[in-house]
Amino acid sequence: MTYGITGNTGKEALWQPAAGLIRWLEAEGIPFRLDERVAAGLVTRGLAEAAFCEAHATVDLAAEVDLVLSFGGDGTLLNTAHAVGTRGTPILGVNIGRLGFLTGSEVGEVEQAIRQTEAGEHRIEARVAIEADIEGDEPSEPRWALNDVVVAKSGSASMIDVKVHAGGHYLNDYWADGLIVATPTGSTAYSLAAGGPLLAPNTDVIVVTPIAPHTLTTRPIVLPDRVELTLEVTTREQPFLLAYDGTSEVIERGSARIVLRRASHTVRLVRLPGHGYSQTIRSKLSWGQR
């Protein structure tokens, strides 16, 4: 198996583990490729020779490897997922951040993780993504999210009005600071902070969570992920934000119609023994601790 190495090049915590890993992989005779930015950073810091990194560097990592190691936190893993795109290359997140809810290994465990993968002890979880289309708009790249799609007010603007239809049926008119539509993967992110429920990753559902709704009885709702959602956004002629996995666009017009549906592709995450969902929520959310 050929491993690809990428990560958050803005974190100093990346470089020593990455340098140690490539030395270990070379000694073990395990093939690997380096994201060109990681290769350049290793050379700049004097942690690897230029010729060695040049020989292993690539621009299109996901196309040349069997598994991508993503060093960073959840944000880095989301960036890696978008870089992989629809290719389906499995991703193993290696946590060098604070929480690392989506990552499958801690940085001190990466060599063991590779041994387990080489032994076939890993499993692949196919995670659902959401596609987003603005009617009348033709983006240069498809809009999709592994975590969530968010519509929100822009700056100091007043609350926005989001009328939602689910499967062609009127659901609700949300008068709020915004609205989050999250996958099970994203249920532990912004949606959770806004009061949404935890969703197990293998459930075929999404959750619609309002952000600071004007009506206190308006609560999050869980829907089947095969249901197409239509969001009619009105902002009193003020711009609003559309965000998908942290990538934000300012929509300048005061109203827009956004269609959300289950994406045609999934994101494949690597899971190792001892890193199941129940263990993750216990350790990351401190469940059961006094």
Is 42 within 8 Å of 48 (Cβ atoms)?
Answer: yes
Residue 69 Cα distances to 2, 34, 91, 284, 287, angstroms: 11, 10, 6, 21, 28
Q: Which of 108, 113, 68, 103 is nearest to 89 (CA)?
A: 68
Is 214 within 8 Å of 175 (Cβ atoms)?
Answer: yes
Strands of the chain, DSSP E: 3-7, 32-35, 57-58, 67-72, 91-95, 105-106, 123-134, 143-145, 148-153, 160-166, 169-176, 178-182, 205-211, 221-224, 229-234, 240-244, 247-251, 255-271
Measured CA to CA, the distance from residue 128 to residue 145 in angstroms comes to 9
Crossing angle of helices 15-28 and 36-44, rounded to 10° = 100
Active site residues: 74
Query: Identity (one letter) of the amino acid at 28?
Result: E
Is 235 within 8 Å of 162 (Cβ atoms)?
Answer: no
Antiparallel, parallel or unpaired: β 3-7 and 32-35: parallel
